[in-house]
Chains A and B, each alone.
Chain A
Amino acid sequence: MGRYIARRLLQAIPLLFIISIGLFVLMQNLGDPLATMGGRMPTRSADRERLKRQLGLDKPVLVQYLYWLIGNNWTETDLDGDGIAETPGTRKGVLRGDFGISLVNRKPVLQVIGERLPATLLLMGAYEIVVIVGALVVGIYSAVRQYSALDHAVTGISFVLYSMPIFFIGLLSIYVFAVSFQRWGLPSLPPNGMFDPQVGKTPSQVALHMILPVLSLALISLAGYSRYIRSTMLEVLHQDYIRTAKSKGLERRYILLVHALKNAALPIVTIVGLDLPTLLGGAIVTERIFAWPGMGRLFLDHVERVDVAVVMAILMLVSVAVIVFQLLTDIAYAWLDPRIRYD
Chain B
Amino acid sequence: MKKTWFSTVLALAVIAALLLTACGATPEPTQPPVAAATNTPPPVAAATNTPPPVDTPVPPEPKIATFIWTQEFDTLNPLYTNMWFSSITQQLWNCWAWDFDEAANPRPVLVKELPSVANGGISADGKTLTLKLRDDLVWSDGTLLTSADLLFTYEMTVNPKNAVASTAPYDQLEKVEAPDPQTLVMTFKEAYAPWVGTLWHGILPAHILKPVFEKDGTIDQAEWNLAPKVGCGPYVFQGWESGSFARFVANDKYWLGKPKIDEIFFRFVPDDASQVAALQTGDGDLGTFISYADIPTLQSANVTMITVFSGYAEGIYFYVDPQKGHPALQDQRVRKAFALAIDRAALCKDLLLGMTAPAATDWDNTPWNDPTIQPYPYDPEGAKALLDEAGWVDSNSDGVRDKDGVELVLDYGTTTREIRKDTQAVVQQQLAAVGIKVNLLNAESDLFFSSYGEGGPAAKGEYDIFEYSTAFHFPDPDTADWLCSEIPSDEKPDGTNWAANCDTELDALFAQQRTQVDISQRLDTFHQITKMIFDKVYWLGYWQDPDIWAIGPTLSNVKISGATPFFNISEWELTK
The answer to the question of A101 belonging to the interface, with a C-beta cut-off of 8 Å to chain B, is yes
The answer to the question of A36 belonging to the interface, with a C-beta cut-off of 8 Å to chain B, is yes
Q: Which B residues lie within 8 Å of A171 (CB)?
A: 273-274
The answer to the question of A100 belonging to the interface, with a C-beta cut-off of 8 Å to chain B, is no
Are B446 and A179 closer than 8 Å at their CB atoms?
Answer: no
* Nearest neighbor of B81 in chain A, beta-carbon distance: A39
Q: Known interface pairs A45-B496, A47-B165, A197-B244. Does A205 touch B277 (Cβ–Cβ under 8 Å)? A: no
User: Which residues in chain B, 427-480, are within 8 Å of chain A measured between CB atoms?
Assistant: 444-447, 449-451, 454, 456, 471, 473, 480
Q: How far is the CB of A198 from chain B (nearest CB, A)?
A: 6
The answer to the question of A107 belonging to the interface, with a C-beta cut-off of 8 Å to chain B, is yes
Q: Out of A191, A197, A288, A301, which one reaches B241, CB within 8 Å?
A: A197
Q: How far does the alpha carbon of A36 sit from the alpha carbon of B168 in the complex, in Å?
A: 16
Interface-facing stretch out of A48-56, A64-72, A236-244, A312-320: A48-56
Q: Which B residues lie within 8 Å of A193 (CB)?
A: 244-245, 267, 269, 283
Q: Which B residues lie within 8 Å of A107 (CB)?
A: 221, 226
The answer to the question of A105 belonging to the interface, with a C-beta cut-off of 8 Å to chain B, is yes
**Interface flags, A185-228, vs B, CB<8A=1, else 0:** 00111111111111101001101100100000000000000000
Q: Out of A31, A116, A174, A190, which one reaches B26, CB within 8 Å?
A: A190
Q: Out of B25, B241, B280, B456, which one reaches A187, CB within 8 Å?
A: B25
Are A291 and B281 closer than 8 Å at their CB atoms?
Answer: no
Q: How far does the alpha carbon of A305 sit from the alpha carbon of B83 in the complex, in Å?
A: 11
Q: How far does the alpha carbon of A193 sit from the alpha carbon of B24 in the complex, in Å?
A: 14
Q: How far is the CB of A46 from chain B (nearest CB, A)?
A: 7
* Nearest neighbor of B71 in chain A, beta-carbon distance: A301
Are A32 and B450 closer than 8 Å at their CB atoms?
Answer: yes
Q: How far does the alpha carbon of A49 sit from the alpha carbon of B494 in the complex, in Å?
A: 8
Are A35 and B456 closer than 8 Å at their CB atoms?
Answer: yes
Q: How far does the alpha carbon of A101 sit from the alpha carbon of B27 in the complex, in Å?
A: 40
Q: How far does the alpha carbon of A317 sit from the alpha carbon of B481 in the complex, in Å?
A: 42
User: Which residues in chain B, 181-206, are within 8 Å of chain A measured between CB atoms?
Assistant: none
* Nearest neighbor of A80 in chain B, beta-carbon distance: B160
Are B269 and A192 closer than 8 Å at their CB atoms?
Answer: yes
A–B complex contacts, Cβ < 8 Å, 11 sampled: A32-B449, A32-B450, A42-B481, A44-B494, A130-B13, A134-B10, A182-B281, A192-B283, A205-B24, A211-B21, A293-B241
Q: Known interface pairs A35-B446, A175-B277. Does A44 touch B166 (Cβ–Cβ under 8 Å)? A: yes
Are B75 and A106 closer than 8 Å at their CB atoms?
Answer: yes
Q: Which B residues lie within 8 Å of A294 (CB)?
A: 243
Q: Out of A37, A178, A188, A192, which one reaches B82, CB within 8 Å?
A: A37
Chain B interface, >50% SS class: loop
Q: Which A residues lie within 8 Å of B74 (CB)?
A: 104-105, 305
Q: Which B residues lie within 8 Å of A298 (CB)?
A: 243
Are B265 and A197 closer than 8 Å at their CB atoms?
Answer: yes
User: Which residues in chain A, 108-156, are within 8 Å of chain B measured between CB atoms?
Assistant: 112, 115-116, 119, 130, 133-134, 136-137, 140
Q: Known interface pairs A31-B444, A179-B281, A208-B24. Does A40 touch B471 (Cβ–Cβ under 8 Å)? A: yes
Question: What 3 A-B pairs come out closest when comparing CB atoms?
Answer: A293-B243, A39-B82, A45-B494
Q: Which A residues lie within 8 Å of B22 (CB)?
A: 187
Q: Out of B10, B274, B451, B480, which one reaches A291, CB within 8 Å?
A: B274
* Nearest neighbor of A51 in chain B, beta-carbon distance: B163
User: Which residues in chain B, 91-112, are within 8 Å of chain A measured between CB atoms?
Assistant: none
Q: How far is the CB of A176 from chain B (nearest CB, A)?
A: 11
The answer to the question of A25 belonging to the interface, with a C-beta cut-off of 8 Å to chain B, is no
Q: How far is the CB of B566 from chain A (nearest CB, A)?
A: 17
The answer to the question of A290 belonging to the interface, with a C-beta cut-off of 8 Å to chain B, is yes
Q: Which B residues lie within 8 Å of A106 (CB)?
A: 75, 80, 163, 220-221, 225
Q: Which A residues lie within 8 Å of B270 (CB)?
A: 288, 291, 297, 301
Q: How far does the alpha carbon of A254 sit from the alpha carbon of B74 in the complex, in Å?
A: 56
Are A207 and B446 closer than 8 Å at their CB atoms?
Answer: no
* Nearest neighbor of B266 in chain A, beta-carbon distance: A197
User: Which residues in chain A, 283-314, are within 8 Å of chain B measured between CB atoms?
Assistant: 288-294, 297-298, 301, 304-306
The answer to the question of A13 belonging to the interface, with a C-beta cut-off of 8 Å to chain B, is no
The answer to the question of B268 belonging to the interface, with a C-beta cut-off of 8 Å to chain A, is yes
Are A79 and B454 closer than 8 Å at their CB atoms?
Answer: no
Q: Which B residues lie within 8 Å of A112 (CB)?
A: 242
The answer to the question of A165 belonging to the interface, with a C-beta cut-off of 8 Å to chain B, is no
Are B451 and A48 closer than 8 Å at their CB atoms?
Answer: yes
Q: How far does the alpha carbon of A174 sit from the alpha carbon of B312 in the complex, in Å?
A: 33
The answer to the question of B353 belonging to the interface, with a C-beta cut-off of 8 Å to chain A, is no
Q: Out of A34, A39, A47, A198, which one reaches B167, CB within 8 Å?
A: A47
Are A198 and B244 closer than 8 Å at their CB atoms?
Answer: no
Q: How far is the CB of B415 from chain A (nearest CB, A)?
A: 12
* Nearest neighbor of B444 in chain A, beta-carbon distance: A31
Q: How far does the alpha carbon of A36 sit from the alpha carbon of B24 in the complex, in Å?
A: 40
Q: Known interface pairs A46-B171, A101-B221, A304-B446. Does A179 touch B20 (Cβ–Cβ under 8 Å)? A: no
Are B160 and A133 closer than 8 Å at their CB atoms?
Answer: no
**Interface flags, B7-51, vs A, CB<8A=1, else 0:** 001100100010011111111000000000000000000000000
The answer to the question of B271 belonging to the interface, with a C-beta cut-off of 8 Å to chain A, is yes
The answer to the question of B486 belonging to the interface, with a C-beta cut-off of 8 Å to chain A, is yes
Q: How far does the alpha carbon of A142 sit from the alpha carbon of B349 in the complex, in Å?
A: 54
Q: Which A residues lie within 8 Å of B265 (CB)?
A: 197-198
Are B168 and A44 closer than 8 Å at their CB atoms?
Answer: yes
Q: Which B residues lie within 8 Å of A119 (CB)?
A: 243
User: Which residues in chain B, 332-372, are within 8 Å of chain A measured between CB atoms?
Assistant: none
The answer to the question of A253 belonging to the interface, with a C-beta cut-off of 8 Å to chain B, is yes
Q: How far does the alpha carbon of A101 sit from the alpha carbon of B280 in the complex, in Å?
A: 38
User: Which residues in chain A, 252-289, are within 8 Å of chain B measured between CB atoms?
Assistant: 253, 288-289
Q: How far is the CB of B552 from chain A (nearest CB, A)?
A: 14
Q: How far does the alpha carbon of A188 sit from the alpha carbon of B444 in the complex, in Å?
A: 37
Are A208 and B471 closer than 8 Å at their CB atoms?
Answer: no
The answer to the question of A97 belonging to the interface, with a C-beta cut-off of 8 Å to chain B, is no
Q: Known interface pairs A115-B242, A178-B277. Does A41 touch B471 (Cβ–Cβ under 8 Å)? A: yes
Are A45 and B486 closer than 8 Å at their CB atoms?
Answer: yes
Q: How far does the alpha carbon of A72 sit from the alpha carbon of B282 in the complex, in Å?
A: 50
Are B165 and A37 closer than 8 Å at their CB atoms?
Answer: yes
Are A31 and B166 closer than 8 Å at their CB atoms?
Answer: no
Are B244 and A179 closer than 8 Å at their CB atoms?
Answer: no
Are B496 and A42 closer than 8 Å at their CB atoms?
Answer: yes
* Nearest neighbor of B16 in chain A, beta-carbon distance: A207
Q: How far is the CB of A208 from chain B (nearest CB, A)?
A: 4
* Nearest neighbor of B280 in chain A, beta-carbon distance: A179
Q: Which A residues lie within 8 Å of B173 (CB)?
A: none
* Nearest neighbor of B495 in chain A, beta-carbon distance: A45
Q: How far is the CB of A58 from chain B (nearest CB, A)?
A: 10
Q: How far does the alpha carbon of A49 sit from the alpha carbon of B450 in the complex, in Å?
A: 14
Q: Which B residues lie within 8 Å of A188 (CB)?
A: 25-26, 281
The answer to the question of B147 belonging to the interface, with a C-beta cut-off of 8 Å to chain A, is no
Are A116 and B496 closer than 8 Å at their CB atoms?
Answer: no
Q: Known interface pairs A37-B165, A188-B26, A197-B267. Does A42 touch B273 (Cβ–Cβ under 8 Å)? A: no
Q: How far does the alpha carbon of A241 sit from the alpha carbon of B451 in the complex, in Å?
A: 68
Of B168, B269, B445, B481, most buried by chain A (CB within 10 Å of CB) is B269
Are A38 and B166 closer than 8 Å at their CB atoms?
Answer: yes
Q: Which A residues lie within 8 Å of B9 (CB)?
A: 133
Q: Which A residues lie within 8 Å of B473 (CB)?
A: 41
Q: Out of B66, B277, B450, which one reaches A31, CB within 8 Å?
A: B450
Are A178 and B492 closer than 8 Å at their CB atoms?
Answer: no
Q: Which A residues lie within 8 Å of B245 (CB)?
A: 193, 197
Q: How far does the alpha carbon of A178 sit from the alpha carbon of B282 in the complex, in Å?
A: 11
Q: Which A residues lie within 8 Å of B268 (CB)?
A: 291, 293
Q: Known interface pairs A47-B168, A48-B451, A178-B281. Does A32 touch B244 (Cβ–Cβ under 8 Å)? A: no
The answer to the question of A30 belonging to the interface, with a C-beta cut-off of 8 Å to chain B, is yes
Q: Known interface pairs A107-B226, A192-B283. Does A31 touch B247 (Cβ–Cβ under 8 Å)? A: no
* Nearest neighbor of B486 in chain A, beta-carbon distance: A45
The answer to the question of B278 belonging to the interface, with a C-beta cut-off of 8 Å to chain A, is yes
Are B451 and A34 closer than 8 Å at their CB atoms?
Answer: yes
The answer to the question of B417 belonging to the interface, with a C-beta cut-off of 8 Å to chain A, is no
Are A40 and B23 closer than 8 Å at their CB atoms?
Answer: no
